[in-house]
């Protein structure tokens, strides 16, 4: 006889580990005992709504986010025509390629820079929250990443990861359009 594992357990474990929390840490944050959390994570018990809400709070989520009530399913597709576009300014335009899901911890965007254009001006997204990280892949052209007072030259195919809460911007010093993909990972949420 096989028993089905409650899908909430592995999700709680994955979220806890993604936040670099031990069972004891989550117990302190949520007010749910470590043995109970362990049983939930292993699928040995399904928590009551009250306990699940406390676990969600300990993970800095709403209960609906923890149990995925406000998602349409495990797969979300953003069609090319449905991309959210930022304002075009001074030769810089960008699109956000990921859906605006609650609790999402990363965002993928595509930036196009005309020759001489740069990111980081009026109308661009604000400086990122403390602990944010950004990874950018140059799809075509050349760009220079200016980060915390240092310049880093990047060509097509180059990929860079940096602390996105530091002052930074990309510029296109070339004579052709440059395109880069950027993944922004949100800062660590600590209470």
Range of the domain at 21: 8-66
- CATH number of the domain encompassing residue 149: 2.60.120.10
- Residue 110's pLDDT band, with cuts at 50, 70 and 90, is very high
Residue 22 has pLDDT above 50, yes or no: yes
Per residue in 30-88, pLDDT (tens digit) is 999 999 999 999 988 888 889 999 998 998 887 877 876 545 556 777 888 888 888 88
Is 190 domain-assigned? no
* Total structural domains within the chain: 2
Whether residues 61 and 150 share a domain: the answer is no
User: CA distances (Å), 52 to each of 36, 44, 46, 77, 176, in order?
Assistant: 11, 14, 9, 28, 53
Q: Give the mean pLDDT of 97-122.
A: 83
- Say if residue 36 is in the same domain as residue 101: no
- pTM over cut 0.75: no
Could you tell me where the beta strands, DSSP code E, fall in 38-186? 84-85, 92-96, 106-113, 133-140, 142-147, 150-155, 159-163, 168-171, 178-185
Residue 1 lies in a domain: no
**152-181 per-position pLDDT tens digit:** 999 999 999 999 888 899 999 999 999 999
61 and 84 within one domain: no
Question: Is position 19 within any domain?
Answer: yes
Q: Does 90 lie in the same domain as 152?
A: yes
The whole-number pLDDT of residue 2 equals 42
How far CA 135 is from CA of 24, 39, 111, in Å, comes to 32, 36, 13
Shared-domain flag, residues 29 and 93:
no
Residues 108 and 179 in one domain: yes
Statement to judge: residues 114 and 87 lie in one domain: yes
pLDDT mean over 112-124: 82
DSSP reduced 3-state for 103: coil
The mean pLDDT of 10-18, rounded to a whole number, is: 85
The answer to whether residues 26 and 105 belong to one domain is no
- Amino acid 156: pLDDT: 96
Instruction: Identify whether residues 54 and 87 lie together within a single domain.
Output: no
Is residue 85 domain-shared with residue 59, that is, in the same domain?
Answer: no
State the pLDDT at residue 78.
Answer: 81
Residue 32's domain is classified under what CATH number? 1.10.260.40
């Amino acid at each position: 006889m096989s028993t089905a594992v409650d899908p909430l357990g592995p999700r709680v474990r994955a979220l806890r580990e993604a936040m670099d929390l031990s069972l004891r840490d989550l117990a302190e944050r949520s007010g749910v005992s470590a043995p109970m959390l362990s049983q939930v994570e292993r699928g040995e018990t399904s928590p009551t709504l009250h306990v699940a809400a406390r676990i969600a709070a300990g993970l800095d989520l709403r209960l609906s986010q923890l149990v995925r009530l406000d998602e349409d399913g495990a797969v979300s597709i953003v069609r090319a025509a449905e991309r959210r576009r930022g304002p075009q300014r001074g030769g810089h335009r960008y699109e956000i390629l990921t859906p605006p899901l609650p609790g999402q911890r990363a965002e993928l965007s595509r930036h196009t820079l005309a020759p001489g254009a740069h990111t980081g001006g009026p109308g661009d997204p604000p400086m990122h929250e403390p602990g944010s990280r950004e990874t950018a892949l140059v799809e075509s052209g050349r760009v220079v990443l200016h980060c915390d007072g240092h310049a880093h030259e990047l060509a097509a195919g180059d990929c860079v990861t940096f602390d996105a809460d530091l002052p930074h911007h990309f510029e296109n010093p070339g004579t052709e359009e440059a395109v880069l993909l950027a993944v922004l990972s949100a800062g660590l949420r600590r209470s």
